[in-house]
Amino acid sequence: MLQVSGKCVGMMATAIQNNGIESLANGNINHVKVNEEHVESSDITTNSSTTGEISSEAESPEIDIVINNVVCSFSVRCHLNLRQIALNGANVEYRRENGMITMKLRKPYTTASMWSSGKVTCTGATSEEQAKIAARRFARCLQKLGFKARFTNFRVVNVLGTCSMPFAIKITAFSERYKENADYEPELHPGVTYKLTQPKATLKIFSTGSVTVTAPSVADVQAAIEHIFPLVYEYRKERTKEDLLALQLRRKGQKRKRSFPHIEIEDNDDFGEDVEVMSDDAEDENCDSDKSWD
């Protein structure tokens, strides 16, 4: 979990002051707790005439940015025999129609797609460091299968992050105000698509206050959130009961039920305990070597 620094909090307070916006009647602006350790007085800029009015708003809530997925790619600089990997490898699925192999790791929980050319893409990591560790372990697995694999050309391709603003957003008015960057088609998608060029990022903004960011790096995700906050703050609104219920369900991780005629399906990602899986020690022995690359 990545927390927005005190500098971002100061920027938010400055945006609030410049826009002259008062706090909501129901106090939703303070819905997220403030971490006072990260806030310094020098980071918060106020005018002497409005110091009393902004003092309560200067302690803006800290927004938690959750990194859901980091996609990276690398090359092993050798030809890969996909059939040999499928026969001898562990946790492998051979997709012959696509000409690729998918291999999974449990620690860190990631999935790699491998092609015969030696190109590998890795998804499922929650940080750039974790993505690199997973990529090295996939390369080590290929080495143990007899391939002369080298870990080269590693780079982070894409990062997916989400956050929740401490207020709801009037997305219709927001999209009309920023027509040059915002695209809102309610018949196709419930959120506003907002594209940034600097930093390069694409944001999905929803009326509940949820924001999804896609960017090339974790730093760009945070920069995009810092950029969009003062813009959406102008179009904040009080949350409805439906919005609050949706946020509570998301935070508590409750599972929703989808009802069909004569069938009721419950979303559950947990597997039964009776399924036989490879032990962590056995997998670590196969793929988790941390020896240096020569």
Could you tell me the pTM of the whole model?
0.64
Supply the pLDDT for residue 119.
96
3-state secondary structure of 121: strand
- The letter for the amino acid at 173 is A
Residues in the chain: 294
Contact 133, 105 (CB under 8 A): no
Helix (H) or strand (E) holding 123: strand 119-125
Number of helices (H) and strands (E) in the chain: give both, helices first.
8, 15
Contact 166, 159 (CB under 8 A): no
Supply the pLDDT for residue 242.
76
Cα three-residue angle 250-240-58, rounded to 5 degrees = 85
Contact 229, 63 (CB under 8 A): yes
Token digits for 174? 């927001």
Token digits for 71? 């996609």
Q: Specify whether domain 69-159 bears CATH 3.40.50.720.
A: no
**Second-level CATH architecture of 2-63+165-247:** 2-Layer Sandwich (3.30)
- Per domain, the residue ranges of the chain are 2-63+165-247, 69-159
Helices (H), 178-262: 218-233, 241-252
- Common-topology check for domains 2-63+165-247 and 69-159: yes
Supply the pLDDT for residue 20.
44
Which residues in the chain land under pLDDT 50? 1-2, 4-59, 254-279, 289-292, 294
